[in-house]
Structure 1
């Protein structure tokens, strides 16, 4: 029923399992589901993913709860899963963004019983996502909608794969764009048209165990030297014995982590005073700032290798979440989007737990004179040009971004909103102390290079980082070779 080694979140595996049992008839209307505690014991998992799966099934109308009696399968749940117009979704295994879409479909079906829709979801690894999508488009079998990282939208828009939302509803799109955080609007707009509908935004930085730091009388590192000192501190035998951790720190570093590697390490170039693009918009790799950032990171990855997981270069981003959530390391580089995965790997269940155990700050910088900075991330829903259901897709996406739906999505998953009005509300609500701390970090966020050839550029840069920071390839030569290869690629 549940594969703990799968990249698909545990709660989503459980949710799909129950839906399939309803559709096949193994679970009938009125059947009682096992209690949360019984499911935890049977599956050997914490309560958080079980509770999340059941909560989302209840929101979507597939189950209902009777206080003091239990949780039951809703009437006609199987029929509702098999007699609907299908909207096809292609997504990666990390399905954070599916919750808000599924909730919107539930609202749509409640309001439009004569035009109910069902989501057919195909999942694949992130590393294969773009290849699978392009192959489907080439065959004329494109899905109706897909989630795209902000940084990919320019590429797909200029290739003609996705629909500008302005062409479907110009007035609604204009009003929506006015409420988007400016840096988010910039990422989702191509040639003056809005292509992506974002549900959340995230920023990169450093996660740390607030409870451990407090008991040690430590503060999170603001400078490079402070980070090195903390790595040495938590590498000592006494600290390892006291806290039971294996590694002093961890972060994605190789091609296995894909875009997460570049997204997390690019801010080190920025805080060193560098850019990846020159004034003319051309890639500028062979610069003093890039070399300075890489030399600093080598002090961690090459000189302090014993403080890091030996297989770190092969880790995906969720492997790093597992280390933090299970207390295997006290510090990681990551993004604010990672909380749901960290929660699954720990015994923490709510925002109060996050505030008590974790902290999140911008990446360290060379000195306090350098301004703090972060890299912007986020995911948007886009509609494919080949979709025969573009208008219905847009109507469902309108429900996704209704304030009450987005507030529930961002509040439950501790996600920064992509919308200014909701961020103001979440940042000033006593119920969300964690979000009040991280939403202001959005003002520090900068954009990764928005290039039509970004997918190829990103892969080259990921390989360069892995070679220089983990394999130990000569820094100057590797940077120069990567710059030359990218110059040839972009020329053609």
Structure 2
């Protein structure tokens, strides 16, 4: 039996890693096998628990081992032995970074299902093209098995008959998904349901916020803005010539401001309307967007560009990627965005997580003077298409893909949230400051309306914000027209004030 050489300059944990890898590669431990526990390895090699934990942690990260809470540590299914034929699961999404999570999850599935192996085949398209591309694929009979979609699309896709309800399979599947729904924040169950049935499995949750350059703010002795006036004051501060020279001419504030950015514009700017007291629908179910509160919010956003010159007019032409990329490259002191952009900022900046933590701060969107701060909460959901040949298998795989015990560490590494109290329990403020703060914001934020006609409604809101930013017509005309168009779309009366 291989042994640990305590006199070797090679660290003990590294020696143990090599021993475990040799056992796997030689076939002593085969795919799906449960390896000895930490305590057993400590006793077997007469070493302390610290190097054992380090060795196992690195082997899990490298994809050779997989941990199941309460069950043990297993050999991944793709390491040794003759592999079974993989069942392809075709997926369409708009997040090329998500392949890391799916690769991890597929290894986890294959490790415990060596005779029912799966492999994700991913087609990534831009977020703005995803809905139309998916709809076209359904119409042509080439729909994927599963898609990752904005949660506000689920009701519309379900009403169109594109999706499998998650409860309409076997009794066992119904039980599993009933338990899954109980483990979600209630707002996400509602957002992923239609006509009383659950159609979407939340893949990740997010919240709108204000990114700011924490290192610049600390150097200047500034506090992050919590209300509109403070936002304007800080933005004006960074507009001073001395500050522009010191930080190489950054924009004081940027955000997606038009239809080119699609849903990102609605996601980031609706908090201004909500904080001012505006609503899309009133409690009676009528369209209620044309109000002084909405006009007040749009007027403030317009004046940031036209009067105060702290926001560049080009924001109306930004796409959904422009804002986080400019912020990551030091071209803005503040940026309205979403917590889902953290990995984009990391990639675009080249910072590691430590540098990101030093340089980037985040707070809830600033509030109206007499209002309270409101964040948009949302997320991405897995949905199973009606053309999927093996819906029960796919749903079982997705159940594992959204299990905090399986993907929780991967989510933490990639700075992503799951809308689940079980995931929140994994977070520690000292090591997960962004996720800890955003998880609290998610629990108390506002969701966009989950209605079948949301995609068309959103296009009207995008046009409303873009028209306000452009300043080519009175704000009152913009809100009145938008309210009337939305009323036609959703077939509801309009109430103006």
Query: Aligned residue pairs: how many?
Result: 420
1:98 paired to 2:99: yes
Please give the secondary structure, in 2, of the residue aligned with 1:249: strand
What does residue 41 of structure 2 align with? none
What does residue 51 of structure 1 align with? none
Structure 1: distance between partners of 2:437 and 2:139: 45
Structure 1: distance between partners of 2:358 and 2:202: 29
The residue correspondences of 1:118-267 to structure 2 (distance < 5 A) are 118-168=119-169, 169-267=173-271
- Any idea what the Cα deviations from partners look like across 1:218-246, whole Å, max 9, x if unmatched? 11111111111111110111001112242
Contact in 1 for aligned 2:205/2:380 (Cα 8 Å): yes
* Deviation, structure 1 residue 444: 2.9
- Any idea what the Cα deviations from partners look like across 1:417-459, whole Å, max 9, x if unmatched? 2101211331x36432332233221233111112211111101
Which runs of 5 or more residues in structure 2 are unaligned?
1-57, 66-77, 493-497
What does residue 112 of structure 2 align with? 111
Moved more, 158-167 or 103-112: 103-112
Contact in 2 for aligned 1:468/1:475 (Cα 8 Å): yes
Structure 2: distance between partners of 1:463 and 1:60: 50
Please give the secondary structure, in 1, of the residue aligned with 2:377: strand
| 1:324 aligned residue (322, 327, 337) | 327
Are residues 297 and 157 of structure 1, via their aligned partners in 2, closer, same or farther at CA, if it must alter by over 3 Å?
Answer: same
Are residues 444 and 75 of structure 1, via their aligned partners in 2, closer, same or farther at CA, if it must alter by over 3 Å?
Answer: closer
The residue correspondences of 1:54-453 to structure 2 (distance < 5 A) are 58-59=62-63, 84-92=86-94, 94-168=95-169, 169-305=173-309, 307-350=310-353, 352-367=354-369, 369-426=370-427, 428=428, 430-453=430-453
Are residues 57 and 468 of structure 1, via their aligned partners in 2, closer, same or farther at CA, if it must alter by over 3 Å?
Answer: same
- Runs of 4+, deviation exceeding 6 Å: 54-57, 74-77
Are residues 245 and 56 of structure 1, via their aligned partners in 2, closer, same or farther at CA, if it must alter by over 3 Å?
Answer: farther
CA RMSD of aligned residues (A): 2.5
Which runs of 5 or more residues in structure 1 are unaligned?
1-53, 62-73
Are residues 431 and 205 of structure 1, via their aligned partners in 2, closer, same or farther at CA, if it must alter by over 3 Å?
Answer: closer
Structure 1: distance between partners of 2:246 and 2:480: 45
1:472 paired to 2:472: yes
* Deviation, structure 1 residue 321: 0.8
Contact in 2 for aligned 1:302/1:472 (Cα 8 Å): no
Structure 2: distance between partners of 1:113 and 1:361: 45
Are residues 56 and 280 of structure 1, via their aligned partners in 2, closer, same or farther at CA, if it must alter by over 3 Å?
Answer: farther
Structure 2: distance between partners of 1:122 and 1:57: 25
- TM-score normalised by structure 1 residue count: 0.80
* Deviation, structure 1 residue 102: 2.4
Moved more, 441-450 or 331-340: 441-450
Contact in 1 for aligned 2:305/2:312 (Cα 8 Å): no
Contact in 1 for aligned 2:281/2:287 (Cα 8 Å): yes
Bigger CA radius of gyration: 2
Structure 2: distance between partners of 1:291 and 1:429: 39
* Deviation, structure 1 residue 284: 1.6
What does residue 485 of structure 2 align with? 485
Are residues 190 and 97 of structure 1, via their aligned partners in 2, closer, same or farther at CA, if it must alter by over 3 Å?
Answer: farther
* Deviation, structure 1 residue 196: 1.0
What does residue 454 of structure 1 align with? 454
Contact in 1 for aligned 2:185/2:443 (Cα 8 Å): no
Structure 2: distance between partners of 1:185 and 1:236: 47
